[in-house]
Chains A and B, each alone.
Chain A
Amino acid sequence: MTIRWSTFSAPSRFVWLAAKVNPWLWAVTIALSLAALYVGFFVAPTDATQGEAYRIIFIHVPAAWMSMVIYLAMAFWAAVGWMLNARMAAMLAHSLAPTGALMTFIALWTGSFWGRPAWGTWWVWDARLTSELILLFLYLGYMALKSSIDDTVRGDKASALLAIVGAVNVPIIYFSVRWWNTLHQGATISMTAAPKMAHTMLLAMLLMTFAFWAYAFAMSFTRASAIALEREQHTDWARQWALDGSSIRASKP
């Protein structure tokens, strides 16, 4: 069976797909995060130098990765929406921003709670921390800009421009620990070197990363569906979906 993915660029079919896929995404999120917590707290050993405080890594690193990946996805869909005038792409970009902002906040929060025992300070103006804080402001600025413009098309374009320009910050975050001599440690996982951590620690972190991925997809699908229904509330498809969703949900697009 082949699926024509361009089919789902129509909001009506996107909402149908999201409703089909979301229960599975939530099941995966819950299963993987429970597995990650089990491995992270009951299987992974105590760290030789950091004691138990290191266990914050199992949420800190996945959240930090997601904060960057979601930003790039948001900028990508914003660019697609702008260049191709694709309605659903712009809505996808908007759907990702709050989740990206939340992941950035979690990365900063857990980092702060790890920095206190590891470095003796909650916060330091180090290149990695500062650029991640700028990422949070980019997300918040993107959302504020979009919501401050009443005209949908103009709001989409203005916020897309901000998202695309702000994408410069992502490689800065990623390479900050290499470019500047910072307090923050280097990359936990490198494409070129063998992992420096115990296998069970790595497993817990990767399980949590996949859980966060599934979470981000589910959140984006839910929010994009809401945005599509809000924006197209006068259309026939939206009306049919709202009035008779349960029977349509069981059918094909």
Chain B
Amino acid sequence: MNWSSASAFFDMGGYGLYVWGAYAVTGVAMLVEPWLARRRLRQALRDVATQPIQD
């Protein structure tokens, strides 16, 4: 185990800002992108379903 306490974990040996700044942005980006893509897919399905039939 690397960390004696929770605050030691968040402090990251004094590099907390850098480590968590890197991980937080990565985490948010990799949650937002799937959300946007799934929204686009649902919208595409809705658009198709409401298309008038063409013959």
Residues of A in contact with B (beta carbons under 8 Å apart): 41-42, 44-46, 51-53, 55-56, 59-60, 63, 98-99, 102, 105-106, 109-110, 113-114, 116-117, 215, 218-219, 222-223, 225-227, 229-230, 233-234, 238-239, 241-243, 245
Q: Are B26 and A225 in contact (CB under 8 A)?
A: no
Q: How far is the CB of A111 from chain B (nearest CB, A)?
A: 9
B5 to chain A, nearest CB (A): 14
Chain A nearest CB from B26 CB (Å) reads 5
Which of A45, A105, A116, A225 lies in contact with B2, CB distance below 8 A? Answer: A45
Residues of B within 8 A of A117 (CB): 15, 18
When A and B form their complex, what is the total count of cross-chain residue pairs whose Cβ atoms lie within 8 Å?
105
Which residues does B use to contact A, with CB under 8 Å? Answer: 1-3, 9, 12-15, 18-19, 21-23, 25-26, 29-30, 33-34, 37-38, 40-41, 43-49, 51, 53-54
User: In the complex the two chains form, what is the Cα distance from A245 to B40 in whole Å?
Assistant: 16
9 closest A-B pairs (Cβ-Cβ)? A242-B48, A52-B13, A229-B44, A53-B15, A113-B22, A226-B41, A110-B22, A242-B49, A52-B12
Q: Are A239 and B2 in contact (CB under 8 A)?
A: no
| A53 and B18 contact, Cβ closer than 8 Å, known pairs A59-B23, A219-B34, A222-B34 | yes
